[in-house]
Structure 1
Amino acid sequence: MKLKYCPSVFLISIFLLNLSKDANSQTGRDTVGVNIVDSIAIKEREKNLKNIGYGKQPFNLITSSISTVNGENIEQNFSLNLGNTLYGRLTGLFLAQGNSEPGVGTPNLTVRGINTFGGSNTAPLIVVDGFIAGGNEIGSVFSQLVPEEIESVTVLKDAASTAVYGNRGANGVILVTTKRGKNGPLNVSFSTRQGFSQALSLPQFLDAGNYATLFNEARQNDGLAPFYTQDVIDGYRSGSNPFLYPNVNWYDEVLRKAAPVSSYNLGFNGGDQTVKYFVMLNALGNEGLYKNFGDLEPESSNSKYSRYNFRSNIDVNLSKRFSVSFNLAGSIENKANPWQYDTGATFSLLQRIPSNAFPVRNADGSFGGNNLYENPVANLLATGFDESNGRTLQTSLRFTQQLDQLTKGLSATGAISINNYFIAGSEKNKTYARFPILPGVFDSNGNPLVGAGIGLTSPITAREITRTQYRNFDIQGALNYNRVFQKHEITGFLMINTDNEVRNFTTGAESDPYRHNGLATRLTYAYNNKYIAEFSAGYMGTENYLPGKRYGFFPSGSLGWVVSEESFLKSNNRINFLKLRASYGIAGNEDTGGNRYAFRTAFNTFTGGEGTLGNTNITWEEEKSLNIGLDATVFNNFQLSLDVFKRDRYNILTQPFNVVPQFVGAALPDLNIGKTLNQGIDFSLRYNSSTSKKFKYFVEANLSHFKNEIVDNSQLPQLNAGLVNAGGAIGQPRRLRAIGFFTAAEIAEKAIDPSKFPTPIGVNPRPGDLKYEDVGGLNGFPDGVIDNNDLVAIGNPGAPTTVLGINAGFKIKGFDLNFVVQGVTGNSVNLNQGIFQAFQNNGNISAIAVGRWTPETANSATYPRLSSVNDINNFQNSSFWIKDGSFVKLRSVEFGYSIPKQFLNKVKIGDARFFVNGNNLFSFDHIEYGDPESLTGYPVLRTFVLGTKIQF
């Protein structure tokens, strides 16, 4: 099972070479047969270097498809998760915002859409400073980073840029480069942000009076007697006796209107030719939306989250030839909540419990409650609390040896990294009794008496647990080459690496490590800075496959032509720069889901019987990727980039339904027979005003459009052509087609002829019920029954097909303004969830049901008739509940003022800026009753902060 590689000989050889005779060497770009490049040109070239994975290249020589954002730009977002700072800033990258709970919420990331199905991982590989970062899950290195330590974030999108990552690059790669020291005196910077966050949108539920009124209507629709008398309804509305007639807004009882947030950052930067350093300390705080229940009950806790980040990046030139870089970074995270680790159960209860269920406290001070619902306030006050402590650490040591004594331009590097995170928890648990009201029994003040308690009050107990843990040990060794011969430039590297991951082990015994060994190479040739050819490849293996089938080769090639260097364009002052490029290659995705070591046949540990058969030919997914693009600067001020891509993925694991007969009599394994196709465009356009003017501004727009489809998923033949997955989008929802509400006349017709207006089996329709189209059964003809054969492709998957970002700003007389707008379309939102299903499963009723069908509103109803029993017709998955998920959001705005230099010079301060910042300020969308990105659970947050940044 083990993959072995020992780089010790390689590292020792680097050390011995450093002890050899010192000679004159060049640490930069070497030239032969031409004069040394002017120093100003070299500096400009260095400024245009872009991270392309395991190295950097000048922008004019890059032939692959990448997009980059600088760290100073994402500092405009206040967020606890680095991913949430990237909305609308990078072409090809889509982030889906979900749960915003401090310390829990993290966005989902995809590059150029989704191109696989089943259990496959769709997330990009994340690499921080050249080493795998353990994904985007909570606690990972990536999620814990803060913008103040980021130099740049780069997305690698095509095979030419991802092939060097072997069988882990097909979903794209996100490269994070942290800041390093620069030549110059000590520079000290301090910044702070103070503000608050609040819910951008909360569900809207009806008050007690309206709940009771509509519940009576629902019972009447069901042929049942009213449950609430008019006196009770009037009591709910008058509020005359809140114990007898409770009318509780549970969200108001549990949540506060705004929660404090804060951030402090202290940085040190400087160095000389021998040592350069970047050191940063950061503190973040967010108290969450819960009220301070810990202040009310000593055995509860306030909701609070804090994180302390540190980073020290040191570069040392030990000699003219030998240098060392050492990174030490990490975070300390503390989180506490009353009741439970996260807030999921609380928000689920808030969404189910009606406003008239019971008072928060009864007249005697006891907690209200009943057999159907727990008391949300009591849960947060009287059940203890949960604390969590997380630790993230990333260390790396890199040696670089110039080998000019062998040949000029040659160098060798060796690196080692240890990256891990650990989250432990401390649970303090207790129970409480809640007391229902006794109907018709009152005390002397007219308040209802309570019955026997539900549950017992117990003392607090404690338990220590490990929530998650991750560790990665990575070793790299590489030869690098960079040389210019007159008009010829050759750049390349050859790297061998091995890493060992232990993922999410939470028990005393470690899980079996994930191992990867690989070779990676890239060779770039440029002629006269005009014609570029590049070859890159990865050869990588992992232990998850059968011996002899563990390694794969992933090559790619790309070409570039800098047309603006041609004589026919050099004199053209309209086209300042124009580069055409194309790439083609193969990338892989080894995280295919399913059981690990699936080449083995599974056996039931209890019965000894055979389980799923082993697949001895199981392998990774592969993707053939074609990319054609251009980069240009025109009229001095316009910069644009355009990419057209096509991605053919195959070897996707899926059940072999149409390959192996079902009468085989064994549990069949997934086979690598699935195929998909994904194609689209990335486009960005930026305008920069003249730097010589007092009023400076820029406007940047980026657009990504991608469309995927299933080519083959081994689906069984279908009676209904609408159920065929091939040709449809990945994740395409299939639902019944709703064709309106039943009328009284149609119900009468159906009573005479039951074959008319077919319904699902067991449904006896009534006026106001949803009516569905009988699409087909055997041979595709209507069969008089509404069932799964009537499902058709309706709406879109949850992920959009088009993503737009707009980033703009200006500066004038010390004032500056920047904002980011993000828009998405091509996605759908499904409202067929408990929160919108009135009275179902003893649930609540939301404001959406106000538009219900009644005989008076039959022509204008926007919701089916109400029912007090579980409805098996109206809440079928149908087109009625599918809504357009498109939105436009103002993701961030920052307005600032910088104090003039002439004043700062007097007090010996380099820079001082004050600013106000807002995130997620508003949303334009089609969802009236919630946020299209997060309908349930912890709400999306809107944040406002005041801040200052001072440099000495």
Structure 2
Amino acid sequence: MKINLLPRFPAGDRAHIVAQTLMIMTRIMLLLIVTLSHVTADGFSQKISFQAKNVPLQTALRNIEQHTGYLFLYDELDLPSSKKVSVKLKNGSIDELLQAVFRDLPLSYKIFQRNIVLKKIVKMPVPETAIPSRMPETQPVIELNRRSIDPLPVSTDRIVRGRVTDENGSPFPGVSIIVKNSQTGTATDANGEFRLSVPESMAGELVLVASFVGYKNQEIAAGNNAELNFSMAVDTKALNDVVVVGYGTQKQSSITGSVASLPMKNVASQPLTSLDQAMGGQIAGVNVAQTKGAPGGGVSVRVRGTGSIGAGNEPLYVIDGFPVSSDFNSNFNPLSSINPNDIESIEILKDASAAAIYGSRGSNGVVLVTTKHGKSGKSVVQLDTYYGFQQVANKIDMLDAREYAEYNTEARNNAWVDKGGNASDPNSARPSALQIPEMFMNPQSLGRGTDWQDEVFRTAAIQNHQLSVSGGNDKTTFFMSGAYFKQDGIVMKTGFDRYSARVNLDHHISRHVSVGMNLSPSYATSRILPVEDQVFTGGILGSALSLPPTVPVYNADGSYTTLLGPSPYNIGVIDNPVAIANKIKDKRTVFRTLGNVYAELKLIDGLKFRTSFGLDYSDARENAYYPSDLGWNGVPAPVQARAIASTGRELNWLNENILSYKKTFNTKHELDLLAGFTAQKAHGESAAINATNFPTDLVPTLNAGQVTGGGTYASEWSLLSLLARVNYTYSGKYLFSATMRRDGSSRFGARNKWGTFPSASVGWYLSEENFMKSQHVVTDLKLRASYGLAGNNTIGNYNHIGLLSNRRYSFGAGTGSLAYGLYPSSISNEQLGWEMMHQFDIGADFALLRNRVSLTIDYYNKNTTDLLLNVPVPASTGYETALQNIGKLNNRGWEFSINSKNLTGAFKWSTAFNISFNQNKVVKLGPSGNPIISKSPSFSPNTHITKIGAPIGSFWGYDAIGVYQSQEDVDNSPRVGGASGSRPGDLKFRDIDGDGAITPSDVTIIGNNSPDFFYGITNNFSYGRFSLSILGDGVQGIQLLNGSRRNIGLVNGSYSRKDVLGRWQSPSQPGDGRTPRANVAPMGGNVSYVSSLLVENASFFRIRNINLRYNLPESVSKSVYLQNAAVTLSVQNALTFTPYRGYNPEQSLNGSSSLTPGVDFNGYPLARTFTLALNLTF
């Protein structure tokens, strides 16, 4: 039931609230900048004075922590319990203080930023004679290849000594040195040195292992060597390849599901409006289609195919842990309010084992977005700015004025001949609609005429400017940014502006308590025009592609021309698209704030509790005015001016409480547990008012007109969840993971509000097995498999409830008296539940040739069951259909990702390639299995069918097999209507049922919008200070229904595309064999039907981005007080190779609709963008 709850929000009140909010935020940011700059400076310039006399060691450590801000990490069993220390230091360094404290203690230490790791030095009992008092001065240093030295004096035990250095060659204290397969070991001292006594009997097979957290284990077979040197290398698998997963992070090596990562540095130089554009061509299994070219417009993202008919198909977006709302306003891309430059990385959870932790929202995949955070160290100020221009990437070839006149003359002659006339007959013998206009009688004099595309397209500016500052110390880190983005549209008078800011803070109150906050306000403005509306309803491109090139833009008096009627073009009223762009005023603004705060408590070693509270607040407004001197819907000006004002607000809050535990037992057992409870609720309100009868166009506000309609609406939903996950690793080789989430949603029936979504996965690090050690081709090899369930809850908030609507009813005889009342408009369903996605995935991750080549392979089989469909119900219920969980879809396919380092010398070249194959098929539809036939807007006949055994939303129409080549061909072939009507040159359709006539029973599937495969390739080159990146992506086996070609051959003066040059003209001039003859009216020409003539191959390969970067020399940068400086030249949408004849082979009139996909009807084209960027780091 529609509920009228929304109060009026005066513009003044809103402006006051916004102004206050921005003022408070500005003051907070200034205060934070001043405060945090002091924090950073204080943390890294300190000198230490410390005094302790005869105090217990643990007390001394706590005092040092409080006094210096450093944090000690140690095992309490390693500390001498009775030892007391005395120390006195004035204006010394932390290293001097630690040396004084541990001078006489069996402890070593290593400093990592603000953490100090303590290790116990294990001393082995060794006979005096076994240890020489002094090594010979000529003793050589033993490297990893082990050079021999003179044997030590004979004894029952053997002494092995050596030194360990880190990746920089510095002494490495605290490293564990153990004899392999034994408990004998020690640790390096403050100078990175060690000394170990082992039985002489082990000398021949002695192997020492050096280990430290975050570094790769190093092994050396000692043989007869008495001194060994270890050089430790950072374990990038353990440290750098940390991947964000649902409610936490995991090492890449520990992941058993299908998770893809996209560091934003890969796309940082691209001029992106929203973060979803960044994924295009980068990730296997993720098909990103830029279906709208309008500034601020969104894209369509499909993770492993289309998985639903009646619910949503877009993935869930989670920004810094907050699942953002994507259904606030269907005409606005919710992700365009997020500044892409603030993003650190994007992870995509593709299979059920990874996405099941998000339960009822994970069936279409999950996109995890992590924004930038500060790092301890010196503050870094960064300025990123670019400026550029855009041009339409592709224009449609149109007839010039001469060609248009010749084509129209031929069309009218053909139509007159069809009526029994002769092409040479004068106008006086013809009806007015078939007369040849005087201007067409001398086509050569007309020249090229008006190029209406050039009139509405423009070279448009694009710019972005961002200033950020980040830094901190061991206690507090911060990242703050402010940005301004402006994109003018390539269609005149359209555009998008965005102001955005971000503050990310993290603070360690103590060793056990951390708090933080993220705040990201933005204000976006869109200048909107009816670009994609159709020709007779004021669409700019529809009008531009339909107006004859013989019509000028302006009349002699400077006013805009308008095509007012049939003569001489046989067209209805078409408004001037330049006038539409200049006269309509339509502006949408969106103020959005996304933020959260958190607190994290470390309870005991490995056990943490984290609670967070987040808000996503959106406030959208739109005001449009259509003046009286602009025609509308086929009615020429003057008309009644119209105005529309609408507003919408949504508040979405989320509370999460997560308990996690991580522990390693006996060096072989790694356990990672997680459990949590979340609660989320969203409430939205909107209002719209229409007005007309404005006395003048000078005052466009609604109060100047007469209000003719309006309404207010309110809606809300809520979600409660319990979740758990366990990850277990044994010996670094055998992996197991399981998740469980239970969701309760207000959107579903009383008997089905709760759903359970489990998953499990396993992995095997095959390359860690001993039998793999002897080969040198496969560096790493991990096998994994998973199975799980996820759900889809993106349906209406009240679909399970029987709704009431209002209607007028006439009481009494005759006209009676009208009264308003309520009536049941939909039937309730207490059993309405989730769509369930069951997915099996098996994959392998390879690293070959010492990591020169990496390869990931996945096979998946995804079944979506309990599809939400409107199915027929008995007439006795009073309803025709009801929404029920009946239906099944299948997506299955392969994914391949290959990364290679082709050249590694002074000239470097690396390649990343991915390709994905997906097969989409409808398995079940309702109890009867009847197909769903759908109609796309702007078409009168049906255009799509969803039937068992075929891809969802296949194109539905007649199969055009060419044109009739002669009268004999017409006489001997099936014809529309059977007996008469068709002529040579008209479209010829396939007789599917073989009954000798073309009837509705011959309509069949004529194509689909599901690709056979899609792919992406990136090549990176670098030499010296130059780097070049080229990103390309493509789709193969996809088709589009080109609706703007619907009137080909049915001229009526409005078809001006150059493809008619391939038309049939006579048996001796058959043209291309597919394009029908010119005609004015149907006359049996069959062109008004949906047919395969309109279905075009939309396969393409696009060079999406070319990026050339030059890093300025350090001498230049430092001379102007810069750390780094770079200049970047970038081209976006550089080239597209496709047989498709429209603006954009990714176009989709109906957005993300699964029932009517792949329709192009004068959609907003893509822009080719050139930018020059400057990146400065202070």
Q: TM-score, normalised by structure 2?
A: 0.70
Q: Counterpart of 2:295 in 1: which secondary structure?
A: coil
The answer as to 2:1013 corresponding to 1:813 is no
1:99 shift after superposition = 1.9
1:698 counterpart (910, 914, 918): 910
Q: Counterpart of 1:253 in 2: which secondary structure?
A: helix
The answer as to 2:583 corresponding to 1:423 is no
- Superposition pairs for residues 45-194 of structure 1, below 5 Å? 45-103=238-296, 105-117=297-309, 119-135=310-326, 139=332, 142-194=335-387
C-alpha separation in 2, matches of 1:314 and 1:719:
54
The answer as to 2:405 corresponding to 1:212 is yes
Aligned twin of 1:685: 898
C-alpha separation in 2, matches of 1:345 and 1:761:
38
1:834 shift after superposition = 4.8
Change (3 A) 1:28 1:416: farther
Q: Counterpart of 2:954 in 1: which secondary structure?
A: coil
Q: Given that residues 558 and 583 in structure 1 are in contact (C-alpha distance below 8 angstroms), is that contact kept between their aligned partners in structure 2? A: yes
- Superposition pairs for residues 415-564 of structure 1, below 5 Å? 415-432=612-629, 455-456=637-638, 464-466=645-647, 468-486=648-666, 487-502=668-683, 505-506=686-687, 509=712, 511-564=714-767
- Superposition pairs for residues 601-612 of structure 1, below 5 Å? 605-606=807-808, 610-612=824-826
1:265 shift after superposition = 1.6
Aligned twin of 2:541: 347
1:803 counterpart (1007, 1014, 1029): 1014
- Superposition pairs for residues 252-331 of structure 1, below 5 Å? 252-256=454-458, 258-291=459-492, 302-331=493-522
Q: Given that residues 748 and 799 in structure 2 are in contact (C-alpha distance below 8 angstroms), is that contact kept between their aligned partners in structure 1? A: yes
Q: Given that residues 682 and 716 in structure 2 are in contact (C-alpha distance below 8 angstroms), is that contact kept between their aligned partners in structure 1? A: yes
Q: Given that residues 838 and 846 in structure 1 are in contact (C-alpha distance below 8 angstroms), is that contact kept between their aligned partners in structure 2? A: no
Aligned partner letter, 2:539: A
Aligned twin of 1:16: none
Change (3 A) 1:255 1:555: same
Aligned twin of 1:441: none
The answer as to 2:1102 corresponding to 1:899 is no
The answer as to 2:1161 corresponding to 1:939 is no
Q: Tell me: higher relative CO, structure 1 or 2? Use CA pairs within 8 A at least 6 residues apart.
A: 1
Aligned twin of 1:600: 802
- Superposition pairs for residues 633-672 of structure 1, below 5 Å? 633-636=847-850, 637-656=852-871, 666-672=879-885
2:986 counterpart (747, 764, 769): 769
1:307 shift after superposition = 1.2
Q: Counterpart of 1:833 in 2: which secondary structure?
A: helix
Matched positions, count: 876
2:768 counterpart (562, 565, 588): 565
1:218 shift after superposition = 1.4
Q: Counterpart of 1:669 in 2: which secondary structure?
A: strand
1:746 shift after superposition = 3.1
Q: Counterpart of 1:505 in 2: which secondary structure?
A: strand
Aligned partner letter, 1:334: T
Q: Counterpart of 2:714 in 1: which secondary structure?
A: coil
Aligned twin of 2:7: none
1:392-425 superposed Cα distances (whole Å, 9 cap, x missing partner): 2101101100001xxx210000001111222213
C-alpha separation in 2, matches of 1:319 and 1:724:
60
Q: Given that residues 29 and 409 in structure 1 are in contact (C-alpha distance below 8 angstroms), is that contact kept between their aligned partners in structure 2? A: no
1:24 shift after superposition = 7.7
Change (3 A) 1:433 1:882: closer
C-alpha separation in 1, matches of 2:804 and 2:279:
43
C-alpha separation in 1, matches of 2:530 and 2:741:
49
Gaps of 5+ in 1: 2-20, 241-245, 292-301, 436-452, 751-755, 777-781
Change (3 A) 1:623 1:535: same
- Superposition pairs for residues 608-627 of structure 1, below 5 Å? 610-627=824-841
C-alpha separation in 1, matches of 2:528 and 2:1002:
46
1:108 shift after superposition = 0.7
C-alpha separation in 1, matches of 2:719 and 2:1146:
36
C-alpha separation in 2, matches of 1:476 and 1:31:
37
1:78-137 superposed Cα distances (whole Å, 9 cap, x missing partner): 12222222210111111111221113x2111110111222x2211111111111112386
1:191 shift after superposition = 1.7
Change (3 A) 1:601 1:228: closer
1:531 shift after superposition = 0.6
Q: Given that residues 312 and 329 in structure 1 are in contact (C-alpha distance below 8 angstroms), is that contact kept between their aligned partners in structure 2? A: yes
RMSD: 3.4
Q: Counterpart of 2:266 in 1: which secondary structure?
A: helix
C-alpha separation in 1, matches of 2:931 and 2:506:
67
Aligned twin of 1:737: 959
Q: Given that residues 366 and 434 in structure 1 are in contact (C-alpha distance below 8 angstroms), is that contact kept between their aligned partners in structure 2? A: no
C-alpha separation in 1, matches of 2:1061 and 2:532:
35
Q: Given that residues 742 and 754 in structure 2 are in contact (C-alpha distance below 8 angstroms), is that contact kept between their aligned partners in structure 1? A: yes
C-alpha separation in 1, matches of 2:1122 and 2:585:
46
1:715-757 superposed Cα distances (whole Å, 9 cap, x missing partner): 857899998921111122233222332233336636xxxxx51
1:74 shift after superposition = 1.4
Gaps of 5+ in 2: 2-64, 75-114, 121-182, 188-210, 217-233, 420-429, 566-572, 689-710, 810-821, 934-943, 1148-1159
Aligned twin of 1:295: none
Q: What percentage of residue pairs aligned between the two structures are identical?
A: 27
Q: TM-score, normalised by structure 1?
A: 0.86
1:623 shift after superposition = 1.4
1:619 shift after superposition = 0.9
Change (3 A) 1:138 1:912: farther
1:210-229 superposed Cα distances (whole Å, 9 cap, x missing partner): 22221221122222648565
Q: Counterpart of 1:837 in 2: which secondary structure?
A: coil
Change (3 A) 1:471 1:352: farther
1:453-509 superposed Cα distances (whole Å, 9 cap, x missing partner): 953399x9976532x443311111110111111111110211111111235734585
The answer as to 2:1134 corresponding to 1:921 is yes
Change (3 A) 1:944 1:836: farther
C-alpha separation in 2, matches of 1:208 and 1:287:
31
C-alpha separation in 2, matches of 1:708 and 1:31:
57
Aligned twin of 1:5: none
Aligned twin of 1:440: none
1:534 shift after superposition = 0.8
Change (3 A) 1:339 1:63: closer
C-alpha separation in 1, matches of 2:482 and 2:509:
27
Q: Counterpart of 1:76 in 2: which secondary structure?
A: coil
1:833 counterpart (1028, 1040, 1044): 1044
1:134-192 superposed Cα distances (whole Å, 9 cap, x missing partner): 23866555332233211111111111011111111111111111111111101111121
Q: Counterpart of 2:615 in 1: which secondary structure?
A: strand
Q: Given that residues 858 and 894 in structure 2 are in contact (C-alpha distance below 8 angstroms), is that contact kept between their aligned partners in structure 1? A: yes
Aligned twin of 1:413: 610
Q: Given that residues 141 and 393 in structure 1 are in contact (C-alpha distance below 8 angstroms), is that contact kept between their aligned partners in structure 2? A: no
C-alpha separation in 1, matches of 2:924 and 2:902:
50
Change (3 A) 1:355 1:167: same
C-alpha separation in 1, matches of 2:1050 and 2:287:
36
1:201 shift after superposition = 1.0
1:788 shift after superposition = 3.0
2:783 counterpart (580, 600, 612): 580
Aligned twin of 1:787: 999
1:398 counterpart (571, 586, 598): 598
1:903-930 superposed Cα distances (whole Å, 9 cap, x missing partner): 4344432111111100111111112454
Q: Given that residues 902 and 909 in structure 2 are in contact (C-alpha distance below 8 angstroms), is that contact kept between their aligned partners in structure 1? A: yes
Q: Given that residues 931 and 946 in structure 2 are in contact (C-alpha distance below 8 angstroms), is that contact kept between their aligned partners in structure 1? A: no
